[in-house]
Amino acid sequence: MESSIGATEGQERPTLAYALLTDLYQLTMAQGYWACDKLDEEACFHMFFRETPFKGGFAVACGTSQLAEMIDGFHFSEDDLAYLGGLDAPGGGKLFDPAFLDYLRDLRLSVDVDAVPEGTMVFPMEPIVRVTGPIMQCQLLETALLNCVNFQTLIATKAARVCLAAQAPVAEFGLRRAQGAGGSLWASRASIVGGCASTSNVMAGKMFDLPVSGTHAHSWVMAFDDELTAFREYARIFPKNCVLLVDTYDVKQGIENAITVGLEMRAAGERLSGIRIDSGDLAWLARYARERLDAAGLTDCGIVLSNDLDEHTIASIRAQGAQVSSWGVGTKLACAYDQPSLGGVYKLSATRMPGDERWTGRLKVSEQSAKLTLPGVLDVRRYVWGDGKLAGDMVFDVNEPVNAEGVIIDPADILRQKRLGELSYRTLLAPLARDGASVLSAEERSATSARERTMAGLEELDESQKRLLNPHSYPVGLEEGLWHRRARMASDLRGCRGVV
């Protein structure tokens, strides 16, 4: 089935050709590599970010399931090639050489991709995705890879923050305000990965096998002559799924009407699941509603709150003593309202000539040491204390020895060091694609399985790393030898003395 928005999980395989989901310069560079005989030169790129989003202490990796689909769906269709063939060069003539377009027609990816599984806690300056293979192919994947991993990691992280604050099920309600159809679908999926219990987005539910849920809108109440009739009708039609929205006209009266219907449902052997409050002072109204519901004997009727919520308003409302059974969170989650983008980058870090065994580390040096890239073919060791909490992460070169004491050094500050050698560790990057084809199982692509990893990952963090305000930063360092190799390379490239 041809899809214009995204691809599906499960049996339906993607047929969307993702090759043109790229910046033009990737394709012109590709023609350059083809023209100067670099097709057999290999490269290693890493994707990483430099700062955790939302001034938080962690991020939740997400987006690699879509990346796997992009890799499997990567090819240039005849239509794509005709489009590229028609592009004019600004100075005259055609932009692309027809012989290069013929080459693209038969191009099949042969890259290897390794990535942290979705739902893994990730931190600044550590590789989340590693791509190795012919340099031109690595380059052709850059833009689409960043597009899906940056966006979905951002939303999954926001969802995790909202869910940590809520400490009760959160339904994602963002579709109507999300960034277009495609953005909404992946935002809904990422929200589930980050910890949401359900989404209101039905297409995302079908495509990604996500739990869906919903209540009703104010228009339902307004469509009847009075609120009580509207509530009774809703309860009659959906006795097993009845949450009544009580703030269309007057919240206090709405609560009384809901109580009337709740008692009628009870008499008929049914249960009013909850009421939803969507305006006003949500903490005060939730406390008031709880008292009234309890006084009427409807102690099993829950309270759902919604209206422009995020992790901060939720934390505040809970601190004011509201007992909330679930939350509906839309705009500020699906649009990552306070930080609309994660600044993840994809940097060349090693190259290898045809026939060579060894990789040569590559480094980009800019004016600030904080912007130095990471040379080598890298992975991450995650060290764990005896009590199961995380101790710190070591970024290391897989082709170099790791110092026996497990010393890590902050990438930007040689004075910040840790010794982790005594502790047990696990390695984070796992195969995502081999020889240009995804190797992820259905379970590894599942959003709900990723949500379990998110829950387990959050358990491993210290409370101080999860707090909303000024969280403690999690230690990530370069393996000692890697730190010094990088410093020497930077000095050599800039002709400086000493270390950076």
Ligand X SMILES: Nc1ncnc2c1ncn2[C@@H]1O[C@H](COP(=O)(O)OP(=O)(O)OP(=O)(O)O)[C@@H](O)[C@H]1O
- Tell me which residue of 97, 99, 104 sits closest to 81, measured CA to CA: 104
Contact flag: residue 12 with ligand X (CB under 6 A): no
Over the window 321 to 360, marking each residue x when it contacts ligand PRP by CB under 6 A and - when it does not, the resulting string is -------xxxxx----------------------------
CB 489 to ligand PRP: min, Å: 48
Long-range contacts of 222-227 (CB under 8 A, 24+ apart): 222/248, 227/253, 227/254, 227/257
Phi and psi at 112, nearest 5°, equal -105, 135
Please give the distance of CA 23 from its chain centroid, rounded to a whole number: 22
- In angstroms, the Cα distances linking 119 to 96, 130, 346, 387, 449 are 41, 17, 20, 21, 8
CB 319 to ligand PRP: min, Å: 19
Contact flag: residue 214 with ligand NIO (CB under 6 A): yes
Among 246, 277, 282, 432, binds ligand X (CB under 6 A): 282
Long-range contacts of 175-180 (CB under 8 A, 24+ apart): 175/199, 175/200, 175/201, 175/204, 175/330, 175/334, 176/330, 177/330, 177/331, 177/334, 177/335, 178/334, 178/335, 179/334, 179/335
Nearer to ligand NIO, 330 or 375 (CB): 330
Angle between the N-to-C axes of helices 24-35 and 98-105, in degrees from 0 to 180, rounded to the nearest 10: 100
Stretch that binds ligand PRP, among 155-163, 206-214, 282-290, 301-309 (CB under 6 A): 301-309
CB 167 to ligand NIO: min, Å: 20
CB 316 to ligand NIO: min, Å: 21
Report the alpha-carbon angle 402-378-36, nearest 5. Answer: 130
Residues 56, 468: contact at Cβ < 8 Å? yes
**Residues 300-359 interacting with ligand X (rule: CB under 6 A):** 307-309, 313, 316-317, 320
- Site size toward ligand X (CB under 6 A) is 12
Residues 349, 158: contact at Cβ < 8 Å? no
Contact flag: residue 177 with ligand PRP (CB under 6 A): yes
Q: Indicate which of ligand NIO, ligand PRP, ligand X, none lies near residue 218 (CB less than 5 to 8 Å, by partner kind).
A: ligand PRP
Contact flag: residue 328 with ligand NIO (CB under 6 A): yes
Stretch that binds ligand PRP, among 37-45, 124-132, 169-177, 290-298 (CB under 6 A): 169-177
Nearer to ligand X, 241 or 316 (CB): 316
**Residues 261-280 interacting with ligand X (rule: CB under 6 A):** 279-280
Nearer to ligand NIO, 220 or 284 (CB): 220
CB 245 to ligand NIO: min, Å: 7
Among 200, 273, 373, 446, binds ligand NIO (CB under 6 A): 200
Q: Indicate which of ligand PRP, ligand NIO, ligand X, none lies near residue 282 (CB less than 5 to 8 Å, by partner kind).
A: ligand X
* Bridge partners of residue 198, in order along the sequence: 171
Binding site residues, ligand X, CB under 6 A: 279-283, 307-309, 313, 316-317, 320
Binding site residues, ligand PRP, CB under 6 A: 173, 176-177, 218, 278, 306-309, 328-332
Binding site residues, ligand NIO, CB under 6 A: 173, 200, 214-215, 328, 330
